[in-house]
Amino acid sequence: GAVVSQHPSRVICKSGTSVKIECRSLDFQATTMFWYRQFPKQSLMLMATSNEGSKATYEQGVEKDKFLINHASLTLSTLTVTSAHPEDSSFYICSARDFRGTRLAGGRRSDTQYFGPGTRLTVL
């Protein structure tokens, strides 16, 4: 199956610094990637949708200037948490979806999102 990687898997930083998280699709071209945040014992909350070559679409309540998303290639999206604060500590998960290369029988497209292993961010 399709593989999505994230780097780093774990990061600890000081308050006020910026942290960049990478999400890569390893064996397919991801025209769309999604960034989620998950707090302990809670569900995944979508932060933004990242489309290759265009600006990301942010969900309501997510600060676009704080969570910078770049999807410069078909296999890489990055999330930068700027001026991180302790309340930004969370588990960040990306997923990737390919609308172009996964045509199934009858012309249907793959509906599956493939998730990365997540990045644990701790802001001190």
Partner 1 sequence: SQQGEEDPQALSIQEGENATMNCSYKTSINNLQWYRQNSGRGLVHLILIRSNEREKHSGRLRVTLDTSKKSSSLLITASRAADTASYFCATDPGAQKLVFGQGTRLTINP
Nearest to 82 by CA among 19, 23, 26: 19
> Going by C-beta distance under 8 Å and a sequence separation of 6 or more, which residues neighbour residue 105?
none
Tell me the per-residue interface mask from 100 to 119 with partner 1, x by CB under 8 A, - otherwise.
-----------xxxxxxxx-
Residues 107 and 91: their CA atoms lie apart, in Å, by 36
Is 90 a residue that touches partner 1 (CB under 8 A)?
no
> Going by C-beta distance under 8 Å and a sequence separation of 6 or more, which residues neighbour residue 41?
none
Tell me the per-residue interface mask from 4 to 23 with partner 1, x by CB under 8 A, - otherwise.
--x-----------------
Residues 55 and 25: their CA atoms lie apart, in Å, by 19
CB of 44 to partner 1, least distance (A): 5
Closer residue to partner 1 in complex, CB, 3/72: 3
> Residues in the site for partner 1, rule: CB under 8 A?
1, 6, 32, 34, 41-46, 49, 91, 93, 95, 97, 111-118, 120
